[in-house]
Amino acid sequence: MFFREATVNDVAQIHRIQTIARENHSSSLRDSTPEDYQELIKEHGKGWVCELEDTILGCAIVNLEDASVWALFVLPEHEGNFIGRTLHDIMTSWCFARGLPKLTLTTKPNSRAEQFCLKSGWVKTGTEPNSEVRFELGNNLEPRNYF
């Protein structure tokens, strides 16, 4: 198992992971298409994947235009193996090492994703009109050089 930057060749597998994830189908991703992922990876953001034997087990994508986490998903059968945690840390470290002062994300309330955010140092900053919880994470983490 290894972690690397995502490419457009990964989009089909990344989109599949998002569609079968057990929870956290955020309203911003509900109608997403493979083209949305491709555009983010190529033009407006950056992504990372965890791969094992040509199968992507998890992904993280950040939208750099608004400094938001757009996706962080792991295949259900690989949850609990620190894939999500590692992808999160790679993504946030990369963003903060490049000078972003903070990141934002939204997730459904009372979800495992909400608990993950709280354990990872994210701070609740409000509730969106669609009832999702809004979080921020400031640039107070030690950057880690994964690549």
Alpha carbon distance 122, 57 (integer Å): 24
Q: Report pLDDT for 146.
A: 43
Gyration radius of the chain over CA positions: 14
| pTM, full prediction | 0.87
- State the pLDDT confidence band at 21, using cuts at 50, 70 and 90: confident
- As a CATH number, domain 2-100 is 3.40.630.30
Contacts of 17 (CB under 8 A, 6+ apart): 56, 58, 59, 73, 74, 75
